[in-house]
Amino acid sequence: SQTIHQWPATLVQPVGSPLSLECTVEGTSNPNLYWYRQAAGRGLQLLFYSIGIDQISSEVPQNLSASRPQDRQFILSSKKLLLSDSGFYLCAWSVGGGTGELFFGEGSRLTVL
Amino acid sequence: SQELEQSPQSLIVQEGKNLTINCTSSKTLYGLYWYKQKYGEGLIFLMMLQKGGEEKSHEKITAKLDEKKQQSSLHITASQPSHAGIYLCGADSGGYQKVTFGTGTKLQVIP
């Protein structure tokens, strides 16, 4: 069966520090991968999606970047965090080329102080 | 871009009562998803609707997509405390399952 792992679960970082959130999917090949952010009062916002290794699209301009070094690994990064980067980050995957639901990780809560 | 408006924003019901959550789209819906989220956790897929007039049920939860495919409703019958959480509707907005989500409806069920 397929599983998705996301870490760390909780992170408290000072403004200006770097960020790295990791997401790994197991039990499937060539998935579509996504990073979403859920900020207070703003709903769930799609940040990046990827249909393959090194194929990443950004949905909104921001202080973050994403990379996909391996087929089932998706990394969200920042060189210098801003206060506005605080939020709940969710990684998700879907069957590549298919139609159907997204499968979400448990989320990573980031607090920037 | 597609916008999804959910109503109500929050809901408090007595256990055993029925309730309905609505999701309205600014554009025609080609794939409408319903998810449930418990606070601080990931989203759990509930149902997907694609055809106008389609209706699906799972246990005590029923979702419908109207004929014009611009509005969906989620109905819970005889609510239980386990139904509490945030319900989000999502729409496929351009292939690769790029799902845009509504702002969510927070449901509390009082025993």
* A99 contacts in chain B (CB < 8 Å): 31, 92, 97
Q: Strand B10-14 relative to strand B105-110: parallel, antiparallel, unpaired?
A: parallel
Query: What is residue B34's predicted lDDT score, i.e. its pLDDT?
Result: 96
Under 8 Å between Cβ of B64 and B49: yes
Measured between CA atoms, the residue of chain A closest to residue B1 is A59
Q: Looking at the complex, does the CB of residue B100 fall below 8 Å from at least one CB of chain A? A: yes
Q: Residues of B numbered 2-61 whose beta carbons fall under 8 angstroms of chain A's beta carbons: which are they?
A: 31, 33, 35, 40-45, 48
Mutation target for A interface from B35, B51, B97, B105: give the one with most A CBs within 10 A: B97
Query: What is residue A103's predicted lDDT score, i.e. its pLDDT?
Result: 92
What is the amino acid identity at position B10? S
For B82-91, what is each residue's pLDDT tens digit?
Answer: 999 999 999 8
- Both tokens of B55, joined, read 């209706």
- Determine the Cα angle at B100 with ends A46 and A52, to 5°: 50
Residue A97 has pLDDT above 70, yes or no: no
DSSP A24-58: EEES-SS-EEEEEEEETTTEEEEEEEEEETTEEEE
Query: What is residue B1's predicted lDDT score, i.e. its pLDDT?
Result: 65
Distance CA B50, CA B61 (A): 17
Query: What is residue B31's predicted lDDT score, i.e. its pLDDT?
Result: 84
Distance CA A40, CA A3 (A): 27
Residue A104 CA from chain centroid, whole number: 10
* pLDDT bracket for residue A78 (50, 70, 90): very high
Closest-CA distance of chain B to residue A76, Å: 17
Query: What is residue B98's predicted lDDT score, i.e. its pLDDT?
Result: 81
3-state secondary structure (DSSP) of residue A19: strand
Q: Residues of A numbered 19-38 whose beta carbons fall under 8 angstroms of chain B's beta carbons: which are they?
A: 32, 36
Residue A1 CA from chain centroid, whole number: 21
- Both tokens of B31, joined, read 């794939």
3-state secondary structure (DSSP) of residue B1: coil
Query: What is residue A95's predicted lDDT score, i.e. its pLDDT?
Result: 86
Distance CA B9, CA A31 (A): 33
Closest partner residue to B98 among A46, A104, A105, by Cβ? A46
Judged by CB atoms closer than 8 Å, whether chains meet at A107 and B100 is answered as no
* B42 contacts in chain A (CB < 8 Å): 90, 104-107
Judged by CB atoms closer than 8 Å, whether chains meet at A46 and B100 is answered as yes
Rg (CA), chain B: 13
3-state secondary structure (DSSP) of residue A72: coil
Query: What is residue A2's predicted lDDT score, i.e. its pLDDT?
Result: 86
Question: What CA–CA distances, in Å, run from B51 to B36, B41, B66?
Answer: 21, 30, 9
- Positions of chain B with pLDDT under 50: none
Q: What is the mean pLDDT of residues A35-63?
A: 87
Residue A86 has pLDDT above 80, yes or no: yes
Place of tokens 């249909």: A51
- Both tokens of B70, joined, read 């611009």
Q: What is the mean pLDDT of residues A61-77?
A: 93
Closest-CA distance of chain B to residue A72, Å: 16
